[in-house]
Structure 1
Amino acid sequence: MKSSTTVHRRRMRLGAIAAAAVTALTAGLLGAVSAQAAQGCEVDYEVTGQWSGGFNANVEVTNLGEPVSNWDLEWTWPDGQRVTDMWNAKDKSKAASAKASGLGYNAALATGASTSFGFAGSWSGANTTPAEFRLNGRVCDGSVSEPTTPPNGATAMEQVAAMQPGWNVGNTLDALGGETGWGNPLITEELLQTVKAEGYNSIRLPVTWDENLGPAPDYTIDPAWLDRVAEVTDWAIANDLQVLLNIHHDSWMWMSTMPTDHDGVLSKYEAIWTQIAERFKDYPSELSFESVNEPQFADTEAAAGDVLVHELNVAFHEIVRGSGGNNEDRLLVMPTLVTSADQPQLDALKATIDELDDDMIAATVHMYGPWPFSVNIAGGTTYSEQVEQDITSTFERVNDTFVDSDIPVIIGEWGVLGYDWTRPIVPSQQYGELLKFFEGMMYQARDKQMTLMLWDAGSYLNRDTLEWRDPLVQSYMDSGLTTRSGTASFDSIYLEKAGTIADESLALNHNGLEFKGLWHGDTALTEGADYTVTGDTLTLTAAALTRLAGDRAYGTNATIEARFSAGLPWRIHIISYDTSQLSDASGTTDAFAIPTQFNGDQLATMEAKYADGTSAGPHDWTSFKEFWATYRPDYSAGAIGLTSDFFNGVREGEPVTLTFHFWGGGTIDYTVTKTGTTVTGTPA
């Protein structure tokens, strides 16, 4: 039974530097000459109840300095107390070292903002109040001032936090056949200035070295190539961008043969890193090294691959640390096998980092979301609960393995595999479902305090015009650095052109925010007359939909916005359509297109089956085929094309029933038959 409540109150002013606060750290923590952001905080610690062996406490944290996007509060118990349970914060305590971290809804603290959390604890002998608290690693005394840590004295966690967000200069210095070999223009300082101006704080600079190496045993790097890499690095650092430099496509070009050519691969790898380390050893701490991109090994089981990755990472560490200069404490980034986030690979890398016992090491993995969603195959057309759970559990595994042990994590590549600017249809996913993916990824990274580096080979930033190809996608990434955005179950309401318009409902995903209403342009819709909200269900009335649909021409008639208390509004498109019409067609396995009147609708996915119900075409483990790789809608031309890759997986002379699924909700069957290189098709 509890005794009468004993209350201890102690107010402390705690100066802090926010390790995950982008604004503070990018202002100059890591060696830049610009002014550093002022920080400070106040903590109100109160024991709200105490009994024999146990107690409850409440902690209120007030940020007095610049806004922070994530926070950790640490303290040490003077008399052996322990945290046994915690609420409204994530418990990261270890024995006598207590640590609480913000959750998604309270992780960001504006200037003057406060948040509270509570915990239950155990005690014996005495229950003395902690002498000091540390916010993101820094003790505060109640004043507001600039950080006092030397610019080059940032911890690995602080440096990685300052990299958020990051951007890959993809398919450029890593391209085969030279810097422009894969279609991108030469990197310019103007490009890097644009990236910085758009809010990015770091770049990952993938470099493939093999084509610029001399013969064994020295494997001398072409001086002109090394100079070019240094030139781009210099431009980036001069424009306040951190740089993560790596060995990139060499991983599959020659390093993959390590199981059968162990000594040869290791010798070449060590020669490259010896030269890189020597060239850049006097560069400032804004330059980091990544040992290798996506290490992979031919005909090797995962467990054996983990051992080889360990060997490469250890060799990399030994070479760089032994080269002297600033390399003695430069941030080093190490990947898992194929940068996988599967638990066995995470555990293997964690063991390597523990063995090296070096505080300036970060882990890296890649995240493109679950493959069926990322490329639109096997029916992976929506940001479903399963997709969201896959992403959430991935971040949780990485967090629990590394971040909870104070090892920072860089998501060195992320995005959507089917988001390809070379296609006339970007993305392969339904647009609103893509936006949910970006919103969810940004939230998870912020919640778990990981740095994201967008893989961009030209799909996001147009390198010729230096403009974003899709400003709304970029806005979701910008907004996600500090807050969530509300969404809904879908971003479109499809109305049959000649049908009777009825009420239509969507489920709201509040994401911790408050729904504020619907707008059409600058006009607020009227709750009751135009829409109703019951719990999480948003219903638009038939009267409002009739007005918004107007003359009901095919396609989008109006776009309205569901606005929330923070973040970006969720766009809802009112679309008029009729069932699509497909016509007879003939062609070849290299050029076959089905004449299609889409009538305002759009294609979601395609199934392919033989008469016995088995799957036809590539990836015969699923009847749902991969977007673009097998089928390609062309709305302007009025056609659905089938690719040669699809027909290569189709049996000769055996009819295949295609089922086209449309976002308007309907399906249409169509039969194709391949005879030699000739293909005929007709509606089923």
Structure 2
Amino acid sequence: MKDIRQPAHHRGRGPGRLAALLLALVVMVGLTGGTALAAPDGTKKASPSAVTVPASAMDAVAAMQPSWNLGNTLDAFPNEDSWGNGQTTKATFDTIAAAGFRSVRIPVTWTDHQSATAPYTIDATYMARVKQLVDWALADGLYVVLNVHHDSWMWIDDITSDHDNVMARFNSTWSQISTTFRDAPRTLVFEGINEPSFGNATEAQKTQYLRELQTSFHSVVRASGGANASRLLSLTTGGPGSGTGGSADQAYMDDLYTTITALNDSQLVAQVHFYSWYPFSVNAAGGTHYDAAAQKHLDDTFANIRTTFVARGIPVYIGEYGLLEWPNHFHPSRVERGEALKYYEHLNYTARSVGVTTALWDPFGYLNRETLQWRDQALFNWIKSSWTTRSGTASFDKIYVPKSSTITAKSLTLNLNGTSFRGVWQGGTKLAAGRDYTVSGNQLTFTAKALTRLVGNRAYGVNSTLQARFSCGLPWNIDIVTNDVPVLSNATGTTDSFTVPTQYRGDDLATMHSTYADGTNAGPLNWNPYQEFNKAFSPDYTNGGIILTLEFLNSLRESETATLIFHFYSGATVTYHVTKSGSTVTGTVS
């Protein structure tokens, strides 16, 4: 995963004196992983891990489920706290273990702590810090996946023009890591390279380079002896372009399968990454809902993973999964909450069905690294529940009741997901079937009388929240919302700043369709009229506006009017026109 950085005011503090002393202690006692370390009083500490790793790689990877990524931390550059997550402590791993995770992936970028010329020495203090985090995690009974992360594009991509030096540096890097962790327990897993893609190299070249790197990684680690002789090694798929490595596209999985079988080693693990159907993951090209296309993409991908690897006895570690830049608590949510919950529920159910281990990518959006509290406990509860059971959902998590219209019955479609429907509750009170709602097949219909009571004084926004409950899993929240069609107003701005004045009137922005009079697409996403949320436009609910971003404004044609159709989650649409003339931007209501 490429870096997702935070604003400067969210950046963490540097290490305190205690952390510095601990780091110095690790350097003093040496870098021999997994052996007993001497305490200041001369006594011995326990081995960092007492977990027994199954002999079968398939069983071992299964024992790693579920997994979590310490993202934007040691993979940050130039330093661990550069991207806002501060200094990791032992308590971080205590929290992860207590939450039910059985493994952690610790991405590491070595570039800024390593000589760029032979012999490519890694700074001893940095290596000691990496070892400190690994040992903390192992001491909590967690499996650990340790890798070479952003180096993949920072210098490994140069293999196309500087082959011999890149290979020498790559081998030296893994030789030093292998030596440091030679005696660490087998709960430590090595991952050769994160998301390799090799820029603009041809597909044939990408296959050749990746196979060479992974074969060399395997040789270097195995030759280092100790526990490395039988350590689990994770090999990752390539990708079609920059930042797309770890792809689950069939061609890249086939290439990896060929590499793994050629190495003839029973302790190898296939790794792919999964961030859902791209239009849904970033809310672009009309991907506002976790619809049939997004669901099919997941089903097909995991079926192919099973056929390519699992059915052939090769374990699979989904080293990163999530949605791109969601949740991001510093920007408006580009993916509607209920739709995101459906994705997590579906993904972890399917992963269990296929028999793969999943590692949640967490750059900062899930666990607050300062407080060690989940930023959204209800969201984490949903993800955690999906590890072991299914939950029912519905076609949406809101019922819109227009204020300007007579209240009528409203329906949602239930997605039982193998459960059975138990009823609807408001707090501790169960609504009355027949009077407050009816169920016909998979249609849940709320009566006009119940909705009249639930909207109360009909103030715009959420008036009440219900829960549809099922025979297992977590309940599905349903907000009862009073709304009307949003009202937009004329405005004048500049190419540096333009906002469409907007009265949302209880509604939420879903997407923006943008075209010119000749039918061509207007905006930075030139292959689809539905522009990307937060990249071309972004709602400002607090101040009543829709911000058109600099990227969108700069993409507009001179003196040519773009017609914008704003789509809202209630189903309402509002048309707006924008014209750029020099540095002036004018917006008018249709």
Same fold (TM over 0.5): yes
1:248 aligned residue? 149
1:330 aligned partner? 231
TM-aligned CA deviation for residue 468 of structure 1: 1.0
Q: In the superposition, relative to structure 1, how do residues 334 and 225 fare at CA in structure 2: closer, same or farther (>3 Å)?
A: same
Residue 277 of structure 1 is aligned with which of 151, 162, 178?
178
Partner of residue 466, structure 1: 372
Q: Which has the larger radius of gyration?
A: 1
1:27-63 deviations in Å (ceiling 9; x for gaps): xxx99547xxxxxxxxxxxxxxxxxxxxxxxxxxxxx
For residue 529 of structure 1, the aligned residue among 427, 435, 454 is 435
Please give the alpha-carbon distance, in whole angstroms, between the structure 2 residues aligned to 1:239 and 1:514: 38
Distance 1:500 1:462 in 2: 44
Letter in structure 2 aligned against 1:325:
G
Question: Is 2:554 the partner of 1:653?
Answer: no
Q: Note the C-alpha offset of 1:301.
A: 2.5
* Match for residue 230 of structure 1 among 131, 134, 141: 131
Q: Is the 8 A contact 1:375 1:626 kept in 2?
A: yes
1:432-462 deviations in Å (ceiling 9; x for gaps): 1111011111111111111111111101111
| Aligned pairs for 1:462-611 within 5 A | 462-611=368-517
Distance 2:329 2:255 in 1: 37
Q: Tell whether 2:301 aligns with 1:394.
A: yes
Counterpart position of 1:202 = 103
Separation of aligned partners in 1, 2:126 and 2:469: 51
Aligned counterparts of 1:533 and 1:582: Cα–Cα separation in 2: 38
Alpha-carbon offset, residue 152 of structure 1: 4.3
User: Given that residues 31 and 286 in structure 1 are in contact (C-alpha distance below 8 angstroms), is that contact kept between their aligned partners in structure 2?
Assistant: no
**Distance between the aligned counterparts of 1:485 and 1:422, measured in 2?**
25
Residue identity opposite 2:560 in structure 1: E
| Runs of 5+ unmatched residues, structure 2 | 1-46, 239-244
Structure 1 residue 317 corresponds to structure 2 residue 224: no
- The Cα offsets for residues 455-479 of structure 1, whole Å up to 9 and x where unpaired, read as 1110111112211111122111111
Q: TM-score, normalised by structure 2?
A: 0.89
Could you say if the C-alpha distance between residues 356 and 31 of structure 1 is closer, same or farther in structure 2, counting changes exceeding 3 Å?
farther
| Other-structure match for 1:644 | 550
Letter in 2 for 1:681: G
Q: Please point out which of 328, 349, 374 is paired with 2:256.
A: 349
Cα distance 1:612–1:203, how it changes in 2: closer, same or farther (>3 A)? same
Matches within 5 A, 1:23-34: 32-33=49-50
For the residue of structure 2 that corresponds to 1:258, the secondary structure is helix
SS in 2 for 1:344: helix
Measure, in 1, the Cα distance between the counterparts of 2:418 and 2:585. 53
The answer for the alignment partner of 2:10 in structure 1 is none
Matches within 5 A, 1:3-14: none
Distance in 2 (alpha carbons) for counterparts of 1:211 and 1:194:
29
Quick one: which amino acid aligns to residue 215 of structure 2?
V
Q: Which has the higher helix share?
A: 2
SS of residue in 1 equivalent to 2:255: helix
The answer for the alignment partner of 2:13 in structure 1 is: none
| Aligned: 1:170 with 2:71 | yes
1:438–1:473 Cα contact (<8 Å) kept: no
2:574 aligned partner:
668
- Rounded Cα–Cα distance in structure 1 between residues aligned with 2:442 and 2:572: 26
Render the CA deviation track for 1:83-123: whole Å, top value 9, x for unaligned.
xxxxxxxxxxxxxxxxxxxxxxxxxxxxxxxxxxxxxxxxx
| Structure 1 residue 212 displacement after superposition | 1.0
TM-fit CA distance, 1:188: 1.0
Paired with 1:586 and 1:514, the residues of 2 have a C-alpha distance of: 54
**Counterpart code for 1:473:** L
Cα RMSD for the two superposed structures: 1.4
The structure carrying a bigger strand percent of its residues is: 1
Distance 2:584 2:86 in 1: 40
Paired residues of 2:288 and 2:335 also in contact (CA < 8 A): yes
Displacement after TM superposition at 1:153 (Å) = 4.5
4+ residue segments displaced more than 2 Å = 30-34, 151-154, 301-304, 420-424
The code of the aligned residue for 2:324 comes to L
Instruction: Give 2:389's aligned amino acid.
Output: T
Give the alignment of 1:42-121 within 5 angstroms.
none
Query: Is the alpha carbon distance of 1:422 and 1:501 closer, same or farther for their aligned partners in structure 2, counting shifts above 3 Å?
Result: closer
What is residue 3 of structure 2 aligned with on the other side? none
8 Å CA contact 2:246, 2:272 repeated in 1: yes
Q: Which residue of 2 aligns with 1:90?
A: none
Question: Aligned AA for 1:344?
Answer: A
Counterparts of 1:215 and 1:527 in 2: how far apart (Å)?
A: 70
Q: Which residue of 2 aligns with 1:128?
A: none
* Percentage of matched positions with identical amino acids: 48
Q: Does 1:179 align with 2:80?
A: yes
Report the counterpart of residue 622 of structure 1 in structure 2: 528
For 1:633, give the aligned amino acid: P
CA distance in 2, matches of 1:511, 1:630: 35
RCO greater where, 1 or 2, for CA within 8 Å and sep 6 or more? 2
Structure 1 position 607, deviation (Å): 1.1
**1:298 & 1:446 partners in 2: Cα distance?**
34
What does residue 371 of structure 1 align with? 278
Q: Which runs of 5+ in 1 are unaligned?
A: 1-29, 35-150
SS of structure 2 residue aligned to 1:266: helix
